């Protein structure tokens, strides 16, 4: 080191050099792994998009469909029957509010060209071509509608601080099974990519809307009577600092307690410190807990709707007086319930108004 014309030397031992080199190598390894993960994620997203585009490119052109009609009308009729079965099976599983929306519009694109070409060259097959065009118009419009609803639910979940991607991924990992029932829209066992995309769009819509339905949105008791909030506080018994992982709602013994969201009751009984407790599982790793009850009004396995009475306020367990202790847990990690109870009603109201706005436009 040079300072004011003088040179001083600092000796770094080999042990220090080895340690510094190891730290630098570890940092470089972490950086390389993070870059590799980011690159793989981008590659998969690009690959999935290109795969979808590749499947879309394989949709038969009008000329190819005319050749199919000309070659074997019976096979075409079989294809249309399989497509209709696919549509009916798909629609039967849809929510009622989706079924009541008119999705059929005038056919466009290759379907319209097919009608024109078939009507001109094979008049006796014109009726079949029109049926095919209506089927495709229905599928394409329903796909766009499902994508719109999925996007709407995704935006709402983000406003509530939840990750829509994890909900879709969790739905894909849900325990399932049964005999293999391959979907097909043609006599050769293949599936038209437009029908396949419809199935994927509806599955994504269902996963996101199911996740949204399980978000706490109804006050289990009146917010006006919160006696203790979420976070650190003085423990009422010891006076020492402690973490309070829920909200306490004071009220008279016997006052009703309501389910905060749709779900299935997963526990009814006593828990240490909580006293009489009800737990409701809402899917996607989300659970609500209601403690210190005086009475139960539900049973394990029961399906509950938002606002349904599940019990009554009490003072069982570690309690200084009658109140409801309410928790929201995501993957067994307690989060502040107030965030959901104050935000979710407004977000859901926006969603309820959205279909009216969309139809008006």
- Written as one string, the DSSP assignment of 52-64 is HHHHHHTSPPHHH
CATH for 223-352, options being 1.10.8.10, 1.20.1250.20, 2.70.70.10, 2.30.30.90: 2.70.70.10
Domain boundaries, the chain: 1-57, 61-174+184-213, 223-352
Q: Using the CB atoms, write b or e for 1-22: b if 16+ within 10 Å.
A: eeeeeeeeeeeeeeeeeeeeee
Higher pLDDT, 194 or 223: 194
Q: Tell whether the model's pLDDT for residue 302 goes beyond 70.
A: yes
pLDDT at 310 (0 to 100): 97
**What are 255-284's pLDDT values in tens digits?**
999 999 999 999 999 999 999 999 999 988
Mean pLDDT of all residues in 333-347: 86
- Predicted pLDDT of residue 117: 72
pLDDT at 288 over 60: yes
What is the band of 5 on the pLDDT scale with cuts at 50, 70, 90?
Answer: low
**Predicted structure pTM score:** 0.63
Distance CA(22)–CA(20), nearest Å, equals 5
End-to-end CA distance of the chain: 74
Q: Is the pLDDT of residue 318 over 70?
A: yes
Residue 8 binned pLDDT confidence (cut-offs 50, 70, 90) = low
Q: How many CB atoms lie within 10 A of CB 35?
A: 10
Spatial separation of the C-alpha atoms in residues 233 and 211, rounded to whole Å: 32
% pLDDT > 70, the chain: 67
Q: Residue 202 gets which letter from DSSP?
A: H
Q: What is the pLDDT of residue 306?
A: 92
Highest mean pLDDT of the ranges 44-53, 106-115, 321-330, 339-348: 321-330
- Candidates 131, 134, 129; CA nearest to 114 is 129
Task: Assess whether pLDDT exceeds 50 at residue 303.
Answer: yes
């Amino acid at each position: 080191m040079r300072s004011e014309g003088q040179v001083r030397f600092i000796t770094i031992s080999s042990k220090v050099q080895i340690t510094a080199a190891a730290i630098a190598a570890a940092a470089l390894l972490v950086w390389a792994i993070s870059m590799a993960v980011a690159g793989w994620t981008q590659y998969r997203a690009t690959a999935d998009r290109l795969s979808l585009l590749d499947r879309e490119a394989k949709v038969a052109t009008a000329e190819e469909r005319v050749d199919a009609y000309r070659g074997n009308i019976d096979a075409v009729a079989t294809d249309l029957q399989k497509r209709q079965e696919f549509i009916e099976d798909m629609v039967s599983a849809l929510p009622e509010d989706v079924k009541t929306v008119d999705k059929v519009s005038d056919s466009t694109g290759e379907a319209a060209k097919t009608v024109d070409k078939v009507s001109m060259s094979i008049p006796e097959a014109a009726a079949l071509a029109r049926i095919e065009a209506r089927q495709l118009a229905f599928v394409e419009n329903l796909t766009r509608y499902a994508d719109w609803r999925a996007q709407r639910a995704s935006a709402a979940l983000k406003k509530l601080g939840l990750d829509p991607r994890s909900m879709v991924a969790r739905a894909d990992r849900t325990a399932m099974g049964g005999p293999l029932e391959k979907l097909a829209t043609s006599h050769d066992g293949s599936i038209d990519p437009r029908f396949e995309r419809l199935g994927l769009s509806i599955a994504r819509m269902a996963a996101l809307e199911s996740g949204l339905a399980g978000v706490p949105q109804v006050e289990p008791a009146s917010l006006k009577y919160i006696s203790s909030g979420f976070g650190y506080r003085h423990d009422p018994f010891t006076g020492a600092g402690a973490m309070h992982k829920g909200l306490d709602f004071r009220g008279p013994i016997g006052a009703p307690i309501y389910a905060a969201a749709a779900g299935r009751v997963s526990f009814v009984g006593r828990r240490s410190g909580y006293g009489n407790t009800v737990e409701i599982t809402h899917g996607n790793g989300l659970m609500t807990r209601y403690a210190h009850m005086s009475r139960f009004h539900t049973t394990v396995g029961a399906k509950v709707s938002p606002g349904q009475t599940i019990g009554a306020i009490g003072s069982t367990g570690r309690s200084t007086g009658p109140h409801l202790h309410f928790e929201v847990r995501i993957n067994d990690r307690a989060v502040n319930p107030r965030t959901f109870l104050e935000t979710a009603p407004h977000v859901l109201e926006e969603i309820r108004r959205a279909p009216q706005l969309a139809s008006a436009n």
